[in-house]
Amino acid sequence: MSLLLFSLLLLASPQGTLAADQQPPAKPILTPIFKDPSTSLYTIPIKDGAAPLVLDLAGPLLWSTCAPAHRTIPCNSSVCRVAGRNPQAGCACTSGGQPNTNTNSTGRRCTCTACPYNLATGQCGRGDVTAVPLSANATDGRNPLFPVSFSAFGSCAPDALLASLPSGAAGVAGLSRLPLSLPSQVASVLRVAKRFALCLPTSGARSGAAIFGGGPFQLLAAPPVNVAEGFFEDPHPFHFLKNPRNGAYYVRVTGIEVNNERVPLPPGIFDLHARSGTGGVMLSTMTPYTTLRSEIYRPLRRAFDAATSGIPRAAPVEPFEMCYQVSALSSTRLGFGVANIVLLLDGGGSWLLAGNASLVQVNDRTVCFAFLEMGSATVVPGSPAVIFGGFQMEDHLLLFDLEKEAFGFRGPLPGIRTHCGNFDFSMGSS
């Protein structure tokens, strides 16, 4: 599949690009990540000469609005068969072939279509599969080095599918483990490792960074630090879990602690059920705050409430239920000085959620408990037990190795006196 995908993309690439000239660099590519203050979603400026794309860590493919005349893919191609896999649950659209009405299709009778999906609204559409021109910078993991242009297969989408995305966004870049995701196609086209790293920024005032293709990930500090050091070489990595019904990344959580005390939860509450695809802890950049089923959220909230009982409360601010007075809180390198939340991971690991991940400031006087309860309408067959949201992943380096099916993280980065805004985007020398 990788060789076929590479060959087809070479044919579809615009003239003059590195991909079209068959000179792909053996270096990873780099793009900044921006946080939209209105939606709390993250974008990357990777679509060549066009508006940014929204990052969807669980998204199966890349999709965007298209010009009326665009290249199409025959419906009997291998790429089209891949595009039809893993349809979104509840989406009435079906992928496959459609009669050809495109004026730039060179007489093909049947063109390939896909079903792009907007996780923010739960809406899906139908669009032609096409070659999308992309551009970024090659990197050595320390600086951008030189521009790289290439193409990837993606789906056209109707303008209405952009609802609830950041203003000016052209579509979505899916980062899942599936063949038509952005990381998978970058690896095939540019002949780099099937790995990527994300460092999500905490605000729109500074950018984070994404590297596709592996390698180091250096952040400015005293001295500069390669935050990814050792992960890709680890012979015993932490593996992400796979859901047969989608391409998202799941992590095996065994429990939660608040202030070093285990939160009482039902046995097996975090389990991902292999056949139904229900349950588990799914990572999501399209969900701003971690959202938990009621039987997890309520014990967690009670435990945090008890551990912070001496801090004066403030009136709740939607969508949050429990809020505090900013003036009563101290500050630390890891955010507000409150009880730590710790996710206990399979194999003895843990994920620290300090004050910078457990409390969000909603106005000058108020901070709130940054977790939400999953509504009953959301708990359906195939839904996760926990959707681990973007806010809790900010200022961590997230690392994915799709070949080894491995996941890792480094952080919280302020604990080592750096942050995701500290990637040096000044042009280096190749």
Residue 222 lies in a domain: no
Q: Are residues 85 and 179 in the same domain?
A: yes
Residue 15 lies in a domain: no
Average pLDDT of span 5-21: 42
What confidence score (pLDDT) does residue 98 get? Answer: 59
Radius of gyration of the chain (CA): 22
Q: Are residues 195 and 291 in the same domain?
A: no
Q: Are residues 243 and 204 in the same domain?
A: no
Q: Are residues 204 and 240 in the same domain?
A: no
Average pLDDT of span 69-81: 90
Q: Are residues 201 and 142 in the same domain?
A: yes
For residues 51 and 133, the answer to whether their CB atoms sit within 8 Å is no
Number of independent structural domains in the chain? 2
Average pLDDT of span 289-316: 98
- In sequence order, the 6+-apart residues with CB closer than 8 A to the CB of 63 are 114, 116, 127, 154, 155, 156, 157, 161, 171, 172, 174
Of the residues 212, 242, 264, which one is the last residue of a structural domain?
212
Average pLDDT of span 408-415: 96
What tens digit of pLDDT does each residue of 204-241 get?
889 999 999 999 999 999 899 999 999 988 888 899 99
Is the pLDDT confidence value at 63 over 80?
yes
Residue 291 lies in a domain: yes
Q: Are residues 179 and 242 in the same domain?
A: no
For residues 239 and 406, the answer to whether their CB atoms sit within 8 Å is yes
Poorest-confidence range of 109-118, 323-332, 362-371? 109-118
What confidence score (pLDDT) does residue 95 get? Answer: 60
CATH number, domain with residue 354: 2.40.70.10
Residue 160 domain boundaries: 29-98+110-212
Q: Are residues 297 and 236 in the same domain?
A: yes
Task: Name the average pLDDT for the chain.
Answer: 90
Residue 156 lies in a domain: yes
pLDDT bracket for residue 50 (50, 70, 90):
confident
What confidence score (pLDDT) does residue 18 get? Answer: 43
Residue 255 lies in a domain: yes
Question: What is the percent of the chain with per-residue pLDDT over 90, rounded to a whole number?
Answer: 76
Residue 125 lies in a domain: yes
What tens digit of pLDDT does each residue of 337-396 get?
999 999 999 989 999 999 999 999 999 999 999 999 998 756 667 899 999 999 999 999
Q: Are residues 121 and 79 in the same domain?
A: yes
What tens digit of pLDDT does each residue of 165-191 get?
999 999 999 999 999 999 999 999 999
pLDDT bracket for residue 103 (50, 70, 90):
very low
